Chain A
Amino acid sequence: MLPVHLQFPIRGGDFHSAGEASSGMKKALSKLGVDPSAVKRASVAMYEAEINAVIHAGGGEADVEIFADRVSIVIRDHGPGIPDVGLAMQEGWSTAPDAAREMGFGAGMGLPNIQRNADDLTIDTRVGEGTALTILVRFHRPAPTAPGPEA
């Protein structure tokens, strides 16, 4: 069977709409009945990646493919790229501009947090060309089917 394929634009510097892509993906996973803990990991990881694209890279696009056992999320931007991935993976390291930091973003937790929530993370980055993050989250447990007390 074909996966469900969702696409979302990510607008650079637009903090008002930031998070819409990950929220759209989360809605889809919930509607599909994916295990809540996997939904949470996928949405937290995707949100961080989406915010990174908004803050650092002038936006980009998100491609989401949902399979019966996993979701694959690609966040692609055409920003400056990451010169030192190892450094960027360290907690607290940040190059976020002041405007972003003032809003509570850019605490340097982005990439490490994505890593923590993803089952697999691939970073494909070229300085001056852009970055593509591929986040994989597996649905370990089957969808909950036990009805609630009133269902």
Chain B
Amino acid sequence: MELRHSVRLDRDKCVGCTNCIKRCPTEAIRVRDGKARIAEPRCLDCGECIRICPHHAKSATMDGYDVLSRYDYRIALASPSLYAQFGPPATRAMILAALRATGFDDVREVAAGAESVTSATLAELLDPDRATALPLISSACPVVVRLVQMRFPGLIPNLVPFDSPMEATATVARREAAAATGHDPSRIGVFFISPCPAKRTAARQPYGRERTDVDAVIAIADAYPRILACLEKMDPVALHEFEARTLAGRDGIRWGNIGGESLALGTERFLAVDGIHSVIEILEEIENERLRDVVFVEANSCIGGCIGGVLVVANRFTARTRLKRSIESAAVSPPAHDVAREAARLLRWTLPLAPNPALQLDADLELALAKYERLERIAKELPGLDCGACGAPDCRALAEDIVNGEATEQDCIVRLREQLRGTLETTAPEGGVD
């Protein structure tokens, strides 16, 4: 069966604790019968549960190197966060050459696609007839896009209406490879080497476009040891080839960490926010029209930006320093204005984004009102300790589960204890249940 999401649970490792249910930004996880369960329609694939689980019961299902054999010509897409995994003496040219040597026919830099997205975004910002509402909200992080669809549907018109750097790079890579090698485009495999599970979900269920140009998404953590091995026995001819190539400019590479996408736009009137819970706070401010002094909001689900993804190897502080090396050694990007309108035309989404009603009580407003009334009543009777022992993240979430017929009031351990104590006190006054 085709898996809709990339974040998975290993039932054998799950001990049924409350760490993940408390951390999930959409309250998508419940512990039932001692095991965590992810409600798929609510999952954003942000990976927060993978990060927080002390038992490593949460993992990401990613594509493996075995998928490479399905294609005649294979292209790897290297994201800026990949460069941030390797310290000196590795240079960008060395990393790209080593990545190709792990099993690909060619590699492309996602930073180049990022430069195109910057150009298109600039065109959108400068366009007086812009259909997009202000501030523009970056749509490069798939988690943020899904979050907006689910929790902030009113902000869908604010999203940057262009392909992500990953998609932009993939489309160009496939087209150019087909022209240069004569391979049928469908026989060319395009593989994104990813810092996060959400990118795989985005490649499987693309947004804003009919179909994706990314055939598979491999975790950076999976590619890392292979690249490392190839770095150690670097082929000087291949290295020379990459050193002679025109590589992406610094504006594109900077996208790897939070603030990079904004700096590339060359405006002071931006806000950059990282970490899914902080992103929610800022989206809340935008929706209430309390953030009127900026024209662009860069929002990344991971703290630090893509270098903070759950599938990377280097910690984000080391990664930041390493990315800085790549940024500083890169050439200055060509002016984004020059190709702005052309980029906007090429990258513009062709499909509208729909709201996702996964958090609503009921599709019918009358029924939703009745449920809400009951939810309020039940919530008032619950202890309000938000202990999570029932398997829901807090008392209100349990009340919602009860209203939806997914739990009962007996699931509340605090109330059960009170009832038990009452029974014991009438039968055995000395008895204690603690």
Contacts and interface: CB of A to CB of B under 8 A. Distances in A.
Contact of B370 (A1, A40, A44): A1
Contacts of B26: none
The majority secondary structure among interface residues of chain A is loop
A147 B362 CA distance: 13
Given A37-B154, A150-B146, A150-B205, A28 B372 contact: yes
B246 interface: no
Interface residues of B, number: 40
Given A3-B369, A4-B372, A32-B365, A151 B357 contact: yes
B356 A32 contact: no
Contacts of A28: 372
Interface string B15-50: 000000000000000000000000001000000000
A68 interface: yes
The majority secondary structure among interface residues of chain B is helix
Interface string A112-136: 0000000000000000000000000
Nearest to B156: A36
Nearest to B42: A151
A145 B357 contact: yes
Contacts of A22: 288
Contact of A33 (B146, B353, B362, B370): B362
Given A148-B355, A150-B146, A143 B363 contact: yes
Contact of B284 (A23, A33, A148): A23
Nearest to A44: B289
Contacts of A145: 357, 363
Interface string A137-151: 001001111111111
A43 B286 CA distance: 12
B153 A32 contact: no
A135 to B, nearest CB: 15
Contacts of A23: 284, 288
Contacts of B363: 33, 143, 145
A151 B358 contact: yes
B355 A47 contact: no
A149 B355 contact: no
B1 to A, nearest CB: 16
Interface of B: 4, 41, 146, 149-154, 156, 201, 205-207, 284, 287-290, 351, 353-366, 368-370, 372-373, 376
19 contacts: A19-B288, A23-B288, A28-B372, A30-B359, A31-B368, A31-B372, A40-B289, A44-B289, A67-B369, A143-B365, A143-B368, A144-B355, A145-B357, A145-B363, A147-B354, A149-B206, A149-B353, A150-B356, A151-B357
Top 9 closest A-B pairs, CB basis? Answer: A148-B356, A36-B154, A33-B360, A36-B153, A32-B368, A148-B149, A144-B355, A151-B356, A40-B154
